[in-house]
Homo-oligomer: A and B are copies of this chain.
Amino acid sequence: MPEATRPVASGPARVVELAGGVGGAKLAQGLQAHLRDRLTVVVNTGDDLERHGLAIWPDHDTVMYTLAGLDDRERGWGIRDETWTAMDQLGRLGEETWFRLGDRDLATHIVRTARLAAGDRPTDVARHLQRALGVAATILPMTDSPVRTEVRTDDGWLDFQTYFVGRQQQPTVHEVRFGGAAEAAPTAEVVASFEALRPTDAIVVAPSNPIVSIGPLMAIDGLRAAVAAGRVRGIPVIAVSGIVGGRALKGPADRMLVSLGHESSALGVARLYADWIDTFVIDTIDADLGPAIEALGLRVVVTDTIMTDDAARSRLARDVLQASVP
């Protein structure tokens, strides 16, 4: 049977996906369609921030809303059937409003902040929210400790959301740091999700920004070690390139790669991942990069990676799952 039509039943039973926001969420949705509760998504927390006293977790919430089927496809972020009344009033009350929070989205932040204030662990709060919204998969913050992604620009060090939303990714990024990552440990749940994997399962790296989405995850020693230990036990690690035709599908990953001295291409991303992954999935448009990526010691899978709709998400997920079968 040709690989492209092999049924998913032959794919891994269980997947741990490492993910940032939008790209991670789309692939997670495709994976969840095949795996349901056998999918665990470990999300970057480096973008998390506090606004108006509320705990905001952009990557977690993007993945959660998407897996709950509540993501706003038209706007490309946030939750469907949104209104903006509170934001309007926050402006009247003299608050800065460049970080837009919709009314429906605010409910998430309000419940989260209250539970954190009551002493609940971030992981428990995350699971409560996911269950309330009926998410089949498990979404785990990479750590319960604070990690803060900051970028050095010509305007100095900026916290990530100030750069990303406030300055609309305009400043050139000269350096990136993940404050708190050195002291942060993955949670017991994250460690357990890796330890539960068997050689017929897989670790999947989403087509997220390699620098500021996958970067913080790999900056946590315990998480990097968990991936490495998985490989030692024979669990395949498959990454999907978020750079297609030399461009980021979304966000500033391409410009960021260049300004940090890397190549803005699937090959450039493969070089960043080469020492801790096994298989790299690239778009058909980048098929000519295959040999150079294989020369890094990686297996290469070429397929359509643009996740325009549900069918495309499911199809890429199927290809990724099949790629994990040797």
Which of A53, A90, A108, A118 is most buried by chain B, counting CB atoms within 10 A of its CB?
A: A53
- A54 adjacent to B133 (CB under 8 Å): no
- Complex CA gap A3/B54 in Å reads 54
- A132 adjacent to B92 (CB under 8 Å): yes
Number of chain A residues close to chain B: CB under 8 A = 35
Contact of A86 among B52, B95, B106, B115 (CB under 8 A): B106
- Complex CA gap A52/B105 in Å reads 14
Q: B residues within 8 A CB of A92?
A: 107, 132-133
Would you call A8 an interface residue if the criterion is a C-beta within 8 Å of the partner chain's C-beta atoms? no
User: Contacts A103-B83, A103-B103 hold; do A53 and B89 have CB atoms under 8 A apart?
Assistant: no
**Residue ID in chain B nearest A53 by CB atoms:** B114
Chain A 196-215, CB-CB to B under 8 Å as 1, else 0, gives: 00000000000000000000
Would you call A311 an interface residue if the criterion is a C-beta within 8 Å of the partner chain's C-beta atoms? no
Query: CB within 8 Å of B: which of A65-106?
Result: 79, 81-83, 85-90, 92-95, 102-106
Contact of A89 among B88, B93, B104, B114 (CB under 8 A): B104
Contact of A54 among B94, B108, B110 (CB under 8 A): B110
Q: B residues within 8 A CB of A133?
A: 92-93
- B88 adjacent to A108 (CB under 8 Å): no
**Residue ID in chain B nearest A118 by CB atoms:** B53
Q: How far is the CB of A61 from chain B (nearest CB, A)?
A: 12
Q: How far is the CB of A186 from chain B (nearest CB, A)?
A: 26
**Residue ID in chain B nearest A50 by CB atoms:** B114
Q: How far is the CB of A93 from chain B (nearest CB, A)?
A: 5
Would you call A188 an interface residue if the criterion is a C-beta within 8 Å of the partner chain's C-beta atoms? no
- A86 adjacent to B111 (CB under 8 Å): no
Would you call A324 an interface residue if the criterion is a C-beta within 8 Å of the partner chain's C-beta atoms? no
- A93 adjacent to B107 (CB under 8 Å): yes
Would you call A129 an interface residue if the criterion is a C-beta within 8 Å of the partner chain's C-beta atoms? yes
- Complex CA gap A128/B94 in Å reads 9
**Residue ID in chain B nearest A102 by CB atoms:** B85
Q: How far is the CB of A17 from chain B (nearest CB, A)?
A: 24
3 smallest beta-carbon distances between A and B, as pairs: A53-B114, A89-B107, A85-B103
Apart from A90-B111, A92-B133, A93-B132, 17 more pairs, CB < 8 Å? A52-B111, A53-B110, A53-B114, A54-B110, A79-B89, A85-B85, A85-B102, A86-B110, A88-B104, A89-B106, A89-B108, A90-B107, A92-B132, A93-B107, A93-B111, A94-B128, A103-B106
Q: List 23 A-B contacts (CB under 8 A).
A: A52-B110, A52-B111, A52-B114, A53-B114, A53-B115, A79-B89, A81-B85, A82-B85, A86-B106, A86-B107, A88-B107, A89-B106, A89-B107, A89-B108, A92-B107, A93-B129, A93-B132, A93-B133, A94-B132, A95-B107, A95-B111, A103-B103, A106-B110
